[in-house]
Structure 1
Amino acid sequence: MKPLLFFILFSCSIYGQSEYPQDYFRHPLDIPLVLSGTFAELRSSHFHGGLDIKTQRKQGLKVYTAAEGYVSRIKISHFGYGKAIYITHPNGYTTVYGHLKKLSDRFEEYIKQCQYDKESYEVEVFPHSEELLVAANEVIAFSGNTGSSGGPHLHFEIRDNQERPINPLLFGMKVKDSKQPYVSAVFAYPKDENASINGKNERTQLRLIPQKSGDYTVEKITAYGDIGFGVTSYDKQDLAPNNNGVSNIQTIFNGNKSIEVDFKRFSFEETKHIKRYVDYNYYKTKKSKIQKLFIEQNNPLSLYKDVHDNGYVSVEDSTATVYKIRIRDYHNNETWVTVPIEGKPLVVKKDSLIDESNKTLIYSDQSTTLTSGLITVNFYENTLYDDEFVDFEVNSDTLFLHEDKIPLQKNFYINYDLTKYKSEHQDKIFISKLYGYYKRPNYIKTTRKGNVLSARSKTFGTFALAMDTISPTIKPINFQDKKWLSKYRYLKVKIEDDLSGISKYRATVNGQWILMEYDYKTKTLIHDFNDNIVKNTKNELKIIVTDNVGNSSTFEATFYRK
């Protein structure tokens, strides 16, 4: 049974939904609202900006505008949201619909005209407020799996007039959820060298003891000094097995609130700082996200409320104290974690000290340039969150720049001098990041100025020069040269590049540009004959595909239609 004191203390903090209109927006699909992703859910490099709504593993479900308004933006891209439409409403909010298979007929006609005008599949347009009006309950699109989607679903957002995403459930949309959040791990962190947990001056995982109520206690710990805590927690809903994000976390030390993390709204500018919110080192090594319930320097997140001493608690000698964590989902299902603490000033040094004699110190508030041989790396001010000792080693054309265990705020810049390479080879060289057991090179965007190649990265790792002299491949999927295609609606071609990757492509029929949608997941180009561009009986198809270092391949074929 939960203490009445805590119920009274926090009953007033239940979301005040009255500040958001409750009956204005409808659910954008006509099936039950079941989520595969919740608002502000922790992703690898950002907080999730909306709801991921399940579409029953199907594509092509009708997508309705959440309310009347006008189309203020349409963006078609290979990655990200894929095909996305943005609708601005009279009340000032904007709704976003992403990963669409296609738009409704009038919007599809509009955007295809833009694509043909610009001769590009990827376009972004901003219609004026009177150009594309939409009514309430109008079908504006059909659900799909375009862009960086891991499976068919609809990504749905509500943004305010400052383009800040807000949890759509605050507007009265209903999800069936009667389950408590669950906790898989709790950790304690010493703030500095004067603090200890169970006799150690290092991050310490605490032993969880599940209770019949669904809450947890932790085996009593001994601690001393300023201590922070972290938790790994998830929420599950009634109709989906997904591990979703929670909505609110509060901590209490001896009856007083220490910190609150409220996932109600954030800005896109700050979402990259998820690397500061989670324990990045632990995530990169263990593939699990610990949410740090304390605030370190250079953490600009706006998610925090009622912060006392940056969320740290001070444990004194010979004291008996209690730390509590209250975790809630949006529907106020809650789970408590209780941590009993005995104050005991015992500090044992870490088992092994890190040898920093061969490392390079990079200050977070200063610019730093590292040079070895023909390689230069530039760190500008505030690239790192903290001052860090990093590994920096160059072996021939390979740059070893620490492991990807330290979070970065901004990109650093790598420069290679190509003077020693023959001029005829320089155009085919790019900077790659090496991944996996076999250290396979992966292209990162590379620019060249004179004899210097440059690239940027927001993660540490191993980098090397790679050379790509092989052109992309182009293979027809559903047709052959000099065949009739009268019964086909689509023309399909597979394009691949084995090293630097596809940069661009261009397709024409009888010399006229045709729209071919590119699905990078299946490596397929698709032309829809319903575009009514192909009108001749005999048609000459030409496709040119170019990789990221300029190698090109040309495919030509003749086909017939009537």
Structure 2
Amino acid sequence: MKLNKAFTLIFLSFYSFSKLLAQTDETYLFPINPGNKNYLAGTMGELRSSHFHAGIDIKTGGQEGLPVYATKRGYISRIKVSTSGYGNALYMLHPDGNTSVYAHLREFSDEIAKYVRAAQYENKTYEIELFPDPYEFAFQRGDVIAKSGNTGGSTGPHLHFEIRDEQQRVLNPLHYGFDEIKDNIAPIAQRLAVRPININSRVENRFDRKDYYLSRYGVNYAINDTITAFGKIGIELLGHDKLDGAANQNGISTIEVFVNDEKYHSQIIDVMSFSLMRDIIVHYPYDIKVNKGRTYHNLYVDNGNRLNFYESKANNGYLNIEADSTYHVEIKMHDPYGNISTVTLNIKGKAPAKQIKERIDFELDRISYQVEKNILKVFTRENCEEDANKELSIYINDSIKTVLPAYFLNNVAVYLWDLHEGIPTSVLSCNKGVNISINARAIPHQATVINAENFIVNFPQSALYDTIYVSTAYEVRTQDSLEVFSIEPVTVPLKSSFYVSASPQFSHYQKDKTHVYQTDDAGNFSFVGGSWSGETIQFNHRSMGEFTLVTDDTPPVIRPATEKNYYYISDNLSGIASYTASLNGEWIMMRYEPKLRLVWIEWPEGMQNKRGSFELKVKDNAGNETIYTTKL
């Protein structure tokens, strides 16, 4: 089969050009204000809620419009314009096979902008992704390719800059010798936590995660008191890095754990695959993030975690603490500039005590329970007999199991039950009982269907990182007459979406305007969507919680801004779904900046002074539409 001649010429010219440039050993140029001191707002590997931060965020002094320079010779291989994420972004392919990325741009260079504008008008869309022909937009190192901005998901003016390898994996730009960034500050440790993992594990005699404050001695940190523990435990670290001249809390790229002077576990966040970014929610303790808003590093590899930047000597970084043994733990935090700080702690293995003179730190009924991963914890406040070892009766289908207290917190008995041994329907102690609201066990790599009251939940094979114990409930809230479909626990991370088919019991819904929303304790509503099929509505989501149906029949609002041809658009509930504009019946492009709630006309070349009838249509996610007309 013969190759197309044009393709052959392109391929050969690319090969020759690549070979020639590869021989120059050209260094990477800092893309903002090169040769001068610069400052960063974010670094590689910073922990965000749903992803690791890729690349670096370069400050632009709170301004937009700074020249953005090509970091190396190459050509533009990809252009993206979006109202979210990276906003306006350029991708440049270099002869060494790497790709540099420039994001949140205000505008492209003139020749690129003209090319993009033509494609937007041809396709009648503002948001667009383009792949120019090789060398259609070729640049030399140091050429201005764009102006910095604040587009997309950016929360302030800056340039997001990445270097990716041939597989589009993100590399750490700070390893490319940029003298514009100065860093003489070692990473900072804030807190450390120790978590029991198995039913027989203890930290300070309890089956509870324990948080510790750290004493600081320059670049060294310590827990001064010896920690007592037993069994399988995991260590979690809260910390950040700083660079000279900036207050921003940045990511820590390298953490090493040494146990009794032997390297035991490490993580080096220098290369990342976008396909695994979501696994950050098992890199940090998700339950602590949800409940307390703190993002620790797990210094162990949790179940389902597919990230490949860990090295563990044994047990995926978990420690097995034996009674009467001592463990000296050193945690070293490194940044890319060679600054190192150290956290030290000592752990003493101690067989669990039965009686603990501590108060519980939450309100307690006479009998109550908590679920922590696969462990059911039951608390009873009073002993009904003199026998301090009063058994707890655990009802599982038609059988009854009994367990003794694992330990006592003053007058509170604490019982532990491994849910792998069975899911109780109720537990009973001293003639006081409580129902256990676990509907099902869902297991990774197995599809699980739960038939709940008035709705069905389906967890596909790919949805889970670890085994979870699901509680479901249906209720009509009296305070606002909403039907609420609950899927718990909210403190468990999911790899991908679960699916729900709900059968609402109310008959008054205006179906074309009624959709599913996730609600929280503060009464806020977040649009989820869903589609009706007869009397049921189907939806999917990636986080568990409370879901309800809300009718949105209020159209969006459009109002002119003070600047000519600029308009504010907003919606009170479901959110803006789409917008389109025309002049004298012909499509005209509007640029949209969601964080400003602002749209404005982006004129095509030669039309800046055109006049006539202008129409702007805005729809929300519930299908409500507002039309604004005026004369230009």
Deviation at 1:475, TM superposition (A): 1.1
Q: Which residue of 1 aligns with 2:30?
A: 27
User: What are the residue-to-residue correspondences of 1:296-445 with 2, within 5 Å?
Assistant: 296-347=302-353, 349=406, 357-365=436-444, 366-396=446-476, 397-417=483-503, 421=507, 425-437=510-522, 439-445=523-529
Q: Cα deviations across residues 430-465 of structure 1 (Å, max 9, x unaligned)?
A: 11111351x222212433455543222111111111
Query: 2:568–2:599: 8 Å Cα contact kept in structure 1?
Result: yes
- Are 1:521 and 2:601 counterparts? no
Q: Which residue of 2 aligns with 1:18?
A: none
Deviation at 1:474, TM superposition (A): 1.2
* Counterparts of 1:370 and 1:233, CA distance in 2: 40
Deviation at 1:276, TM superposition (A): 0.5
Q: Give the letter for the 2:511 counterpart.
A: Q
Q: Give the letter for the 2:341 counterpart.
A: T
Q: Which residue of 2 aligns with 1:288?
A: 294
Within the candidate set 479, 489, 492, 2:566 is matched to 492
* Counterparts of 2:353 and 2:99, CA distance in 1: 54
TM-score where L is the length of structure 2: 0.79
Q: Which residue of 1 aligns with 2:531?
A: 447
Q: Give the letter for the 1:251 counterpart.
A: V
* Counterparts of 2:450 and 2:582, CA distance in 1: 48
TM-score where L is the length of structure 1: 0.89
Q: Which residue of 1 aligns with 2:90?
A: 85
Deviation at 1:403, TM superposition (A): 4.6
- Are 1:47 and 2:68 counterparts? no
- Are 1:277 and 2:283 counterparts? yes
Deviation at 1:244, TM superposition (A): 0.7
* Counterparts of 1:287 and 1:420, CA distance in 2: 36
* Counterparts of 1:551 and 1:212, CA distance in 2: 59
Deviation at 1:531, TM superposition (A): 4.1
- Are 1:143 and 2:170 counterparts? no
Which contiguous aligned blocks of 4+ residues in structure 1 show a shift greater than 6 angstroms? none
Deviation at 1:414, TM superposition (A): 2.1
Q: Give the letter for the 2:553 counterpart.
A: T
Structure with max Cα Rg: 2
* Counterparts of 1:418 and 1:177, CA distance in 2: 58
Q: Secondary structure at the match of 1:371?
A: strand
* Counterparts of 1:273 and 1:302, CA distance in 2: 11
Gaps of 5+ in 1: 1-20, 480-489
Q: Give the letter for the 1:71 counterpart.
A: I
Q: Give the letter for the 1:245 counterpart.
A: G
* Counterparts of 1:403 and 1:306, CA distance in 2: 30
Q: Which residue of 2 aligns with 1:130?
A: 135
* Counterparts of 1:44 and 1:431, CA distance in 2: 23
Query: 1:297–1:385: 8 Å Cα contact kept in structure 2?
Result: yes
Q: Give the letter for the 2:241 counterpart.
A: D
- Are 1:539 and 2:542 counterparts? no
Within the candidate set 98, 103, 112, 1:107 is matched to 112
Deviation at 1:422, TM superposition (A): 6.3
Which segment drifts farther, 142-151 or 187-196?
187-196
Deviation at 1:361, TM superposition (A): 2.8
Which segment drifts farther, 451-460 or 231-240?
451-460
Q: Give the letter for the 1:52 counterpart.
A: D
Q: Which residue of 1 aligns with 2:625?
A: 552
Query: 1:410–1:458: 8 Å Cα contact kept in structure 2?
Result: yes
Q: Give the letter for the 2:516 counterpart.
A: I
Q: Percent identity?
A: 31
Query: 1:23–1:171: 8 Å Cα contact kept in structure 2?
Result: no
Q: Give the letter for the 1:491 counterpart.
A: N
Q: Secondary structure at the match of 2:596?
A: coil
Q: Give the letter for the 1:25 counterpart.
A: Y
* Root-mean-square deviation over aligned CA pairs: 2.1
Query: 1:206–1:218: 8 Å Cα contact kept in structure 2?
Result: no
Q: Secondary structure at the match of 2:275?
A: coil
Query: 1:209–1:219: 8 Å Cα contact kept in structure 2?
Result: no
Q: Which residue of 2 aligns with 1:67?
A: 72
Q: Which residue of 2 aligns with 1:162?
A: 167
Deviation at 1:382, TM superposition (A): 4.0
Deviation at 1:272, TM superposition (A): 0.3
Query: 1:22–1:171: 8 Å Cα contact kept in structure 2?
Result: no
Deviation at 1:359, TM superposition (A): 1.7
Q: Secondary structure at the match of 1:455?
A: strand
Tell me: CA distance 1:435–1:225, structure 2 relative to 1, closer, same or farther (3 Å).
Answer: closer
Deviation at 1:314, TM superposition (A): 2.5
Deviation at 1:372, TM superposition (A): 3.5
Which segment drifts farther, 523-532 or 286-295?
523-532
Tell me: CA distance 1:306–1:358, structure 2 relative to 1, closer, same or farther (3 Å).
Answer: closer
Which segment drifts farther, 306-315 or 72-81?
306-315
- Are 1:261 and 2:267 counterparts? yes
* Counterparts of 2:294 and 2:515, CA distance in 1: 33
* Counterparts of 2:631 and 2:415, CA distance in 1: 69
Q: Highest relative contact order (Cα 8 Å, sep 6+), 1 or 2? A: 1
Within the candidate set 452, 471, 474, 2:555 is matched to 471
Query: 2:79–2:130: 8 Å Cα contact kept in structure 1?
Result: yes
* Counterparts of 2:608 and 2:81, CA distance in 1: 23
Deviation at 1:473, TM superposition (A): 1.4
* Counterparts of 2:562 and 2:602, CA distance in 1: 13
